[in-house]
Amino acid sequence: MLFSRSFRLLSINPIFLYSVAYGGAATFLKSFGFIISLWLAKSLSVEEYANYGLYYALQMGLATFATAGIIESVIGVLREYQSPVVRRRIFGAANYIFFLVSIVFIFLIFGVCWTLYQPKNNTYITIIVVLLAGYLSAFYTMQASLVRLEENHFASLCFSFFVPLVGLFGSLLFFLLLNTVFSFFLGAVFGLFLSLMILLFFRVGFYNITTHLKEIVPIFLRIIPFVGIAFLGWLSGYGNNYFISALFDASEVAKFTFVFTLSSIIQLVASSLNQVWSPRFFRMVFEQEGLAVEKKNRKFFRFQGILMGGTGGILIIIFPAVIDMLGGNLNAYQGMQVELLIMFTGYVITSPFWHCQNYFLVHDKGRDFMTVVFNTSLIGIIIWLFLMWALGSLGIYLGFLVQMLVRSLGAVVGAKKHWSILIAWEGLLIGILVLGIGLLISTKYL
């Protein structure tokens, strides 16, 4: 009896193990990437760090646009075709579309950069390297998603963890040797390419290509709306650096890049919680009565709002001391506690958006959810631009906050048309209050 019970305890569900592995890998990569970004801010001048922010936005833009909607479209097509042979053809068509879309966006982005900025020779080379890094990032993301659809989780982890980790080490090594923004992205290209070649050598991944229109057209038609949403999502993040660059000087680009990167800690807290809670919620919806599920749901998101606020409050309190301790060019970002408070608040009030998102997904209303995301993102970006124009540099951060508020309100209004959702407003208020206390302690008592 005792042996049998012990054996059952050791027989952990593989799905649970892979879920932990995915969550742990994502957390480690984001943490490592954050440390590197902090080090860059310390090592680079304000102008150089601003250039890094603009180039990084380009890399993220290509990585986002090149993969936009492809996997979601493949999932939709696979519902109609389940035979292994057809599945392989569909995956091959996805690879082919990815290649075509990537090439189009590489030339489009390069053309826009060339037209708007008339870059010099060294900038011209840097843009090419950045776009190569973006393409390789998109490629490993695409491969990780494809093999995950076949439930090959080991291969998926190789692409989603091993490849970007080697890319980060490559960036780190090259920057140590040359200490330039260009070397950082060149190292990323070297690391990403090397790791992908290793996986190709061991035949990890799916590299077949299908050019038959029967498989290509259904996927291609489905990805069009996703590209628009991806573009707005990019503008809502690092892509906004280009608006800031057009309206303000380089120092504001550097400051936003720094604060936005630091704010990713709050997003990491929320994402980690969501990764644990969402699968449980998806199961409970079909096992328990609706009101009972929503009470538990509300309790979770109340906790999430408070935890995000608490984490942000601690970061605001220790921010001045950490900047003083690390020194270097980080001193240029000293005294930005108010901006941090505004950005952190933006993430805290996004909790209702994630609350509602789970309902849209579990009830197969993805199209309705896409409409909400598109409309609220477009409205939010317009308001953001207006606030930057009207309020100056403070509008950069208030615009982000208002955009997140619009997104959450839109999701709540859309979700309440279908379900009786109980938003944990008190969790948001407590989280924001804790952020305010953190700012008070940081500015008045330290």
Among the listed ranges 106-110, 212-216, 423-427, which one has the minimum average pLDDT value?
212-216
Residue 260 inside a domain? The answer is yes
Q: Which residue matches tokens 């990585």? A: 63
Judge if 215 and 126 occupy the same domain.
yes
Judge if 317 and 406 occupy the same domain.
yes
| Token pair listed for 119 | 């870059």
Distance of alpha carbon 264 from alpha carbon 258, whole angstroms: 10
Residue 9 inside a domain? The answer is no
Q: Which residue matches tokens 């935890």? A: 307
Nearest to 355 by CA among 413, 406, 301, 289: 301
Distance of alpha carbon 249 from alpha carbon 403, whole angstroms: 23
Distance of alpha carbon 244 from alpha carbon 253, whole angstroms: 6
Nearest to 433 by CA among 308, 326, 329: 308
**Count of domains in the chain?**
2
CA 318 to mean position of chain CA atoms: 25
Residue 14 inside a domain? The answer is no
Judge if 260 and 231 occupy the same domain.
no
Residue 12 inside a domain? The answer is no
Judge if 435 and 372 occupy the same domain.
yes
Judge if 230 and 263 occupy the same domain.
no
Residue 196 inside a domain? The answer is yes
Whether the pLDDT of residue 7 is over 50: the answer is: no
Whether the pLDDT of residue 9 is over 70: the answer is: no
Name the domain boundary from 201, 235, 269. 235
What pLDDT score was predicted for residue 189? Answer: 98
What pLDDT score was predicted for residue 270? Answer: 86
Nearest to 73 by CA among 96, 57, 52, 50: 96
3-state secondary structure of 211: coil
| Token pair listed for 55 | 């180039």
Among the listed ranges 11-25, 49-63, 319-333, which one has the minimum average pLDDT value?
11-25
Distance of alpha carbon 148 from alpha carbon 425, whole angstroms: 36
Residues near 398 by Cβ (< 8 Å), separated by ≥ 6? 342, 387, 391
Per-residue pLDDT, averaged over 54-69, amounts to 93
Judge if 72 and 165 occupy the same domain.
yes
Distance of alpha carbon 399 from alpha carbon 386, whole angstroms: 8
CB-based contact 241:253 (threshold 8 Å): yes
Give the number of C-alpha atoms closer than 13 A to the C-alpha of residue 223, restricted to the C-beta side: 21
Of the pLDDT bands very low, low, confident and very high (cuts 50, 70, 90), residue 372 is very high
Residues near 40 by Cβ (< 8 Å), separated by ≥ 6? 49, 52, 175, 184
| Token pair listed for 178 | 């040359």
Whole-number Cα distances in Å, 342 to 182, 418, 430: 32, 32, 15
Q: Which residue matches tokens 């982000």? A: 400
Among the listed ranges 1-10, 197-206, 236-245, which one has the minimum average pLDDT value?
1-10
Judge if 229 and 266 occupy the same domain.
no
Q: What is the pLDDT of residues 393-419, one digit of tens each?
A: 999 999 999 999 999 999 999 999 988
CB-based contact 427:352 (threshold 8 Å): no
Instruction: Pick 156 or 72 by higher pLDDT.
Output: 156
How many C-beta atoms surround the C-beta of residue 317 within 10 A?
19
Residue 143 inside a domain? The answer is yes
Q: Which residue matches tokens 């020194």? A: 327
Give the number of C-alpha atoms closer than 13 A to the C-alpha of residue 374, restricted to the C-beta side: 12
Write the DSSP symbol of residue 371. Answer: H
Whether the pLDDT of residue 52 is over 60: the answer is: yes
Judge if 139 and 120 occupy the same domain.
yes
What pLDDT score was predicted for residue 118? Answer: 61
Judge if 433 and 300 occupy the same domain.
yes
Of the pLDDT bands very low, low, confident and very high (cuts 50, 70, 90), residue 153 is confident
Distance of alpha carbon 366 from alpha carbon 216, whole angstroms: 22
Judge if 39 and 178 occupy the same domain.
yes
- This prediction has a pTM of 0.88
Whether the pLDDT of residue 8 is over 60: the answer is: no
Q: Which domain holds residue 115?
A: 25-235
Distance of alpha carbon 312 from alpha carbon 431, whole angstroms: 9
CB-based contact 302:427 (threshold 8 Å): yes
Nearest to 380 by CA among 353, 355, 400: 400
Judge if 211 and 303 occupy the same domain.
no
Per-residue pLDDT, averaged over 255-263, amounts to 93
What pLDDT score was predicted for residue 16? Answer: 62
What pLDDT score was predicted for residue 71? Answer: 85
Name the domain boundary from 181, 204, 235. 235
Residue 250 inside a domain? The answer is yes
CB-based contact 361:376 (threshold 8 Å): no
Per-residue pLDDT, averaged over 291-298, amounts to 86
What pLDDT score was predicted for residue 179? Answer: 92
Nearest to 199 by CA among 249, 237, 146: 146
What pLDDT score was predicted for residue 13? Answer: 58
Name the domain boundary from 235, 263, 295. 235
Of the pLDDT bands very low, low, confident and very high (cuts 50, 70, 90), residue 370 is confident
Nearest to 256 by CA among 62, 57, 39, 29: 57
Q: Which residue matches tokens 């490559």? A: 170
Judge if 36 and 111 occupy the same domain.
yes
CB-based contact 270:351 (threshold 8 Å): yes
Residues near 258 by Cβ (< 8 Å), separated by ≥ 6? 37, 41, 49, 333, 336
Tell me the average pLDDT of the chain: 88
Q: Which long-range contacts (CB under 8 A, 24 or more apart) does 164-167 make?
A: 164/29, 164/137, 164/140, 164/192, 165/29, 165/32, 165/195, 166/191, 166/192, 166/194, 166/195, 167/133, 167/136, 167/137, 167/191, 167/192, 167/195
Terminus-to-terminus CA distance in the chain, angstroms? 59
Distance of alpha carbon 140 from alpha carbon 162, whole angstroms: 10
| Token pair listed for 253 | 């680009």
Residue 133 inside a domain? The answer is yes
Instruction: Pick 302 or 281 by higher pLDDT.
Output: 302
Instruction: Pick 153 or 432 by higher pLDDT.
Output: 432
What pLDDT score was predicted for residue 117? Answer: 67
| Token pair listed for 98 | 């990815």
